[in-house]
Amino acid sequence: MSTSPIRVVVVDDDYRVAGIHAAMVGRVPGFEMVGTAHTAQHALSLVRADRPQLVLMDIYLPDGSGLDVVRTLRGEPHAPDVMVISAARDVTAVRQAMQLGAVYYLVKPFGFTALAEQLMAYQRLQRHLAEINGEAAQTDVDTLFGALRPPSMPQARLAKGHSAPTLELVQGAVRASGSDISASEVASAVGISRATAQRYLNYLEQQGVVRLQLKYGSAGRPEHRYRLFDR
């Protein structure tokens, strides 16, 4: 079943860095960029107007602290979740972010994989929340709190040349398609080569995570398309 993408706002005083982080978000299946802001006031107005589900918030802004922005938003309807992304390494800033309910604190600079892992963890959390009806049992609570930790995928289970983060990105692309998807489409969504996408799809098929479907056209060889097994 197809689900709506998670809408994201990136807040950073550096225009170039904000653009880089926004591009990273756009590469992760299931996420959609709403916009970027570079000041505290712009962040508040953008979030209030567009109501994103998640904000990637820098701390150092030219007209105030990103944590003050979070504090203000916490008292308003439709408050988004916040992931702090900052060069601030002092424990006080980290503690304040935790007290304000930040779902994660990612220290800059970081690469695509680090951000993608946390975004996918957040995505898992939202899926688990959507699956719970009524009251949550302790097992549900344990699952929810554990969802924000990237899954432990022993390298011994992966074939040589495979990485757990890329594997999850490929699986996420298949899931986000809502139906079936080709290796070329996965490659475009994740930002890897078609050959690499095909290799990971083959692995997921061997593990029973996805199934191969052949799509026949008017001529030529059938197209290989993949979809998640129905749960």
> Which residues, at least 6 apart from 155, have a Cβ–Cβ distance to it below 8 Å?
164
Tell me the domains of the chain and their CATH numbers.
6-126 (3.40.50.2300), 153-228 (1.10.10.10)
Contacts by 147-153, CB closer than 8 A, 24 or more apart:
147/121, 148/103, 148/104, 148/118, 148/121, 148/122, 148/124, 149/121, 150/117, 150/118, 150/120, 150/121, 151/124
Q: Tell me the mean pLDDT in the region 134-142.
A: 77
Torsional sign, CA 130, 135, 139, 142: positive
CA 215 from centre of chain? 30
Q: Which whole-number Å values give the CA distances from 198 to 121, 192, 225, 226, in the listed order? A: 24, 10, 10, 10
Q: pTM for the full model?
A: 0.68
The pLDDT value given to residue 133: 76
> Which residues, at least 6 apart from 11, have a Cβ–Cβ distance to it below 8 Å?
18, 36, 37, 38, 43, 55, 56, 57, 58, 61, 66, 69
Q: What is the mean pLDDT of the chain?
A: 86
Q: Taking Cα atoms as reference points, which of 52, 36, 88 lies closest to residue 67?
A: 88
Residue 231 binned pLDDT confidence (cut-offs 50, 70, 90): very low
Q: Which whole-number Å values give the CA distances from 167 to 124, 128, 161, 179, 187, in the listed order? A: 15, 20, 11, 19, 12
Q: Tell me the mean pLDDT in the region 28-50.
A: 95
